[in-house]
């Protein structure tokens, strides 16, 4: 199972911010048990989708030499449940950066309603320790919708 929680990247300002979408459908594996009669996306997975988007900002800014690994969270708030059929608009913005440690503010919206928010700390690690750089670039091109069809 691939654990990708960003479906498309709509905007990206290198080294600064990104906006993406996550579509929640009944085919998501996590909905089978959370909860069978009233499925909702677990809040921790909404948070993970924001982490994944922040990671793309780190990768892009380092020309795919580094990967962003979550190392801390602060001020996490869940305000609205996300259900099948919802589309989350994910937004992350870099608030500070120092010596390979990056602080992001992340927000997830369902329609005009804020569903979740958090401060996310990411530390850089060599991308090659985790992934093939060319495969990561190919995935990025698809998410940015500028890859080959």
Residues designated catalytic? 34
SS3 of 71, please?
strand
Helix (H) or strand (E) holding 52: helix 43-61
Q: What is the DSSP letter of 38?
A: S
What's the CA gap between 96 and 14, in Å, rounded? 14
For 26, 31, 61, 98, 130, the CA distances from 120, given in Å and listed in that order, are 28, 25, 17, 14, 20
């Amino acid at each position: 199972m691939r654990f990708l929680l960003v479906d498309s990247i709509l905007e990206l300002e290198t080294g600064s911010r990104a906006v993406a979408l996550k579509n929640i459908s009944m085919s998501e594996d996590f909905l089978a048990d959370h909860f069978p009669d009233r499925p909702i996306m677990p809040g921790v997975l909404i948070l993970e989708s924001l982490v994944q988007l922040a990671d793309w900002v780190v990768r892009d800014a380092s020309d795919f030499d580094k990967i962003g690994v979550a190392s801390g969270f602060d001020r996490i708030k869940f305000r609205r449940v996300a259900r099948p059929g919802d589309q989350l608009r994910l937004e992350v913005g870099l608030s500070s950066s120092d010596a390979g440690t990056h602080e992001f503010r992340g927000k997830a919206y369902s329609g005009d309603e804020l569903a979740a928010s958090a401060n996310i700390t990411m530390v850089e690690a060599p991308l090659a320790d985790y992934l093939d750089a060319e495969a990561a670039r190919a995935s990025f091109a698809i998410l940015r919708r500028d890859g080959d069809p």
